Structure 1
Amino acid sequence: MRKKEAHILIVDDDEDILFSARVWLKKFFTEVSCLSQPKNILKFLSEQQVDTVLLDMNFRKGFENGQDGLYWMQEIKTLEPQLPIILMTAYGEVELAVEALKNGASDFILKPWNNEKLYASVNLAVDVSRKNKKLNQWENISLKTNNYELGTQSNTMKEVMEQIERVSATDANVLLLGENGTGKYVLAEHLHELSERKSQPFVHIDLGSLSENLFEAELFGYKKGAFTDAHQDYAGKIENAQNGTVFLDEIGNLPLHLQTKLLSLIQNRKLSRLGESKERLLDVRFIFATNENLRKAVSENRFRKDLYYRINTVELQVPALRDRQEDIPVLAGYFLEKYRQKYHKPDLILNEMLISELKNYSWPGNIRELDHCIERSVILSREKELRLLMPQDEEAEKTIVNLNLEDMEEFLIKKALKKHRGNISLAADDLGLSRAALYRRMEKFQL
């Protein structure tokens, strides 16, 4: 059986207890440490990452009332409030141990213990410890990659990230769904970094930017002489990701006839370069992403059903920024710090009024739009306090500068439709128009 990655600390003044507990638990967990003196507990915990503590309740000869264990349990809780503690006690102290459960102990074990019960109790405590650590981590900045940082206090986003962590240890195909700018690339890269392939290549392929003529050559590679400009052998993008991860972005943009070739590649894990009959075995992990509604595309025969079911072994919906408004202050703060450094404006600050302004905007471009908004605002701010150049402000300034009646009319119609969330009747009333007149203007401006 593979050992679980965990560090267990056993504290007892009986060397025989320490030895037998360590030998048994070492079969199941990667690291087991022992202390015979409780006075060393706090120093040890400040220097080592521990998942669970097994703590004896009595350390002083002649004082076997369990108070030592309760004292040291409270000391540990003061230092590490979320750390699970399992008390080891004699039969006569069961009532005291039960009382300790009410005061923060995770479990208690009777001496002499049953080995299976000891393992089950420690294993459960380790799982609880890991969950606590993940929750604490997510409360602040929950993921960082080489290119981006994405913080979350959103329950919806936490669920997505928890699923990513669970699936990262497998080679299951993952389909990331969500609007443009929601961070699908970041999540794909994070999934790769959590996987056992993290030391191997992570290759991002934007299928929406590849022309149909270059699709096969770019993805599969080609043999010298395969076509006019093939002057040398060329390994394609997928082959260059061997043993790593391939992130196929904008999968919904792939034409039907090319979907067939991609399906064959994913199913068979083999590829042949253009102009070459030799098949090359492929060992990669696939992650896919799109902002398309693939179920609808399948029903309209724009996307192959068999390919859809092949790529969505695990399907994750990435929420839009407007659905996780609690994350806006964290993200805005990150981008502000990034651009303060880049543009040498260290004194700029983001006050509560500006944060409220950010949260009241719908962010149709999601995190990417927020990023660009903060960068523009930093560049154009002269005072110490950041002056936000919100997207609608930018459009309004452009319209006013042009002083063009048609531009102004289009701008006001857009603003009214946005204000009333597309309700034609309310927007028309606000603009002083009839519904028919508003429809005519919408058709004129192709809105």
Structure 2
Amino acid sequence: MRKKEARILIVDDDEDILFSARVWLKKFFTEVITLNSPNKIVTSLQSHQIDVILLDMNFRRGFEDGKEGLYWLSEIKEINKDIPVILMTAYGEVELAVEALKNGATDFILKPWNNEKLYASVNLAVDISRKNRKISQWENLQEHSKNYELETQSPKMQQALNTIKKVAATDANLLLLGENGTGKYVMAEYIHQNSARKNEPFVHIDLGSISENLFEAELFGYAKGAYTDAKTDKAGKIENADGGTVFLDEIGNLTLPLQQKLLTLIQTKKLSRIGETKERFPDVRFIFATNADLKKMISEHRFREDLYFRINTVEVELPPLRERKEDIPALAEFFIKKYEKKYGKSHLRIQNLDEVVHYAFPGNIRELEHSVEREIILTETEELTLTLNHSVAEEKISSLNLEEMEERLIKNALKKYKGNITLAAEALGLTRASLYRRMEKFGI
């Protein structure tokens, strides 16, 4: 029987319960994590994507009222309302368990449990978790895509969208090009949701934030004992996307050795986890993206030409916002509505819209969104005046080389925030790891 890809978290202060539940459930699910204290739940949810939680209702000796279980149930739901929680309870606590069901628990298991009942309950919860995650992803996509990127008055963007709509229904490899903040992630999600794979996983992998020594472990997974910290078998992100779509972002940041590994995966459509010889054949569709000039990188022997031709069966370039000014008013209005709802405000409008439309937006759509959100937070009236950094914008236009512009933006952000990596990364719309890699790339 093939194990189902799922991460189960069991929380109980009884080590015997943890051991027996883990041994039984490991037969059916790829990863089972145990905690002997509920105080560690928040940390686990922050560091892992948990599919199902099995939660005891009592953790202190002499207290059998189940209030701790109800408390931690509410804490879990506050962090992520979509995670199914199965309560483990004694016979005398059934009424409490029923109350917990009303408060969001998925099911409850009586101690001592029947193994078959335990498996059935967890298996159903895993299916519910996957369904919840897909619904959540779809709602997020709807929120981001309605009137955002997908409706346009720009001829250049219309041309890009026409191509994307044609290729979405196929399994062809697609390369999305464009500056940071032009909407490559949104387009990748749109393609996935308009393909035959829409009911399967959409997995985004930011190659710019993965260090070289973790590349294989993250993408391909590893077997137990493959290295010191490999205490269990773990599927990689490619394998977890089986049946769905893998969006490989920032592909221009890969070193040549990693480019070779990726090329082999694309060519053979098979992989092996680190530490095992078994070959696996995940069925995935690839979408790639970069803001780098790959043709220039090929001429400089920094990007493999054979990989380039593998990834760009179809190539689409998303225009920068300064080349689709017709869309700025609609995009600004979309972001106003979005953040009015988030921050409990209404009837907001941009006072300097003419200036905004003629601004070059070096950070593209992401900069526009951040500018709108910032003003909505800070402004106490209904009139918004977006703060525009004209000096950076003018400097941006002076060069059309993407890498030169990226380097300049990074230097400007670091200068503006006096070397504070966290603030600079946030302003650029990057993770700290992505910014460090770019700084290393440009020798900053």
**TM-score normalized by the length of structure 1:** 0.55
Show the counterpart of 2:337.
337
Contact 1:160/1:316, CA 8 A, preserved across alignment: yes
Show the counterpart of 1:177.
177
Contact 2:360/2:394, CA 8 A, preserved across alignment: no
Show the counterpart of 1:370.
368
What per-residue deviation string (whole Å, max 9, x for no partner) do you get for residues 90-121 of structure 1? xxxxxxxxxxxxxxxxxxxxxxxxxxxxxxxx
Show the counterpart of 1:388.
386
C-alpha displacement of 1:388: 2.1
- Which residues of structure 1 form unaligned runs of 5+? 1-142, 393-413, 423-445
Show the counterpart of 2:40.
none
One-letter code of the match for 2:364? Answer: N
RMSD, matched Cα: 2.2
Aligned with 1:267: secondary structure? helix
Trace 1:80-119 onto structure 2 (pairs within 5 A). none
Separation (CA, whole Å) in 2 of partners of 1:419 and 1:307: 30
What per-residue deviation string (whole Å, max 9, x for no partner) do you get for residues 375-415 of structure 1? 111111122222222235xxxxxxxxxxxxxxxxxxxxx57
Q: Which moved more, 1:152-161 or 1:196-205?
A: 152-161
What per-residue deviation string (whole Å, max 9, x for no partner) do you get for residues 40-59 of structure 1? xxxxxxxxxxxxxxxxxxxx
Separation (CA, whole Å) in 2 of partners of 1:202 and 1:264: 22
C-alpha displacement of 1:147: 4.0
Trace 1:175-254 onto structure 2 (pairs within 5 A). 175-254=175-254
Residues 336/391 of structure 1: CA separation in 2 closer, same or farther (3 Å cut): farther
Separation (CA, whole Å) in 2 of partners of 1:367 and 1:345: 22
Aligned with 2:246: secondary structure? strand
Aligned with 1:280: secondary structure? coil
- Out of 346, 358, 381, the position equivalent to 1:360 is 358
What per-residue deviation string (whole Å, max 9, x for no partner) do you get for residues 334-390 of structure 1? 001111121122132235xx2211111100000000000001111111222222222
Q: Which moved more, 1:154-163 or 1:290-299?
A: 154-163
Show the counterpart of 1:302.
302
Separation (CA, whole Å) in 2 of partners of 1:419 and 1:312: 27
Aligned with 1:270: secondary structure? coil
Aligned with 2:205: secondary structure? strand
- Matched positions, count: 259
C-alpha displacement of 1:156: 1.1
Aligned with 1:198: secondary structure? coil
Separation (CA, whole Å) in 2 of partners of 1:166 and 1:415: 37
C-alpha displacement of 1:420: 9.1
C-alpha displacement of 1:152: 1.1
C-alpha displacement of 1:191: 0.4
Show the counterpart of 1:23.
none
Contact 2:247/2:288, CA 8 A, preserved across alignment: yes
What per-residue deviation string (whole Å, max 9, x for no partner) do you get for residues 119-173 of structure 1? xxxxxxxxxxxxxxxxxxxxxxxx9645453231111111111111111121110
Contact 1:145/1:186, CA 8 A, preserved across alignment: no
Aligned with 1:361: secondary structure? coil
Aligned with 1:316: secondary structure? strand
Show the counterpart of 1:275.
275
Separation (CA, whole Å) in 2 of partners of 1:181 and 1:325: 15
Show the counterpart of 1:350.
350
Aligned with 1:288: secondary structure? strand
- Which residues of structure 2 form unaligned runs of 5+? 1-139, 400-442
One-letter code of the match for 1:390? Answer: L
Q: Which moved more, 1:354-363 or 1:185-194?
A: 354-363
Separation (CA, whole Å) in 2 of partners of 1:290 and 1:324: 20
Aligned with 1:204: secondary structure? strand
One-letter code of the match for 1:189? Answer: E
Aligned with 1:203: secondary structure? strand
Residues 419/245 of structure 1: CA separation in 2 closer, same or farther (3 Å cut): closer
Aligned with 2:219: secondary structure? helix
Residues 418/262 of structure 1: CA separation in 2 closer, same or farther (3 Å cut): closer
Contact 1:182/1:366, CA 8 A, preserved across alignment: yes
C-alpha displacement of 1:196: 0.3
Contact 1:249/1:289, CA 8 A, preserved across alignment: yes
Task: Report which of the two structures shows the higher radius of gyration computed on alpha carbons.
Answer: 1
What per-residue deviation string (whole Å, max 9, x for no partner) do you get for residues 404-447 of structure 1? xxxxxxxxxx579649947xxxxxxxxxxxxxxxxxxxxxxx99
Separation (CA, whole Å) in 1 of partners of 2:221 and 2:336: 42
Q: Which moved more, 1:160-169 or 1:325-334?
A: 160-169
C-alpha displacement of 1:330: 0.4
Trace 1:428-439 onto structure 2 (pairs within 5 A). none
Aligned with 2:359: secondary structure? coil
Contact 1:259/1:304, CA 8 A, preserved across alignment: yes
Contact 1:220/1:237, CA 8 A, preserved across alignment: yes
Q: Which has the higher contact order (CA 8 A, sep 6+)?
A: 2
One-letter code of the match for 2:318? Answer: V
Correspondence 1:313 to 2:313: yes
Contact 2:222/2:236, CA 8 A, preserved across alignment: yes
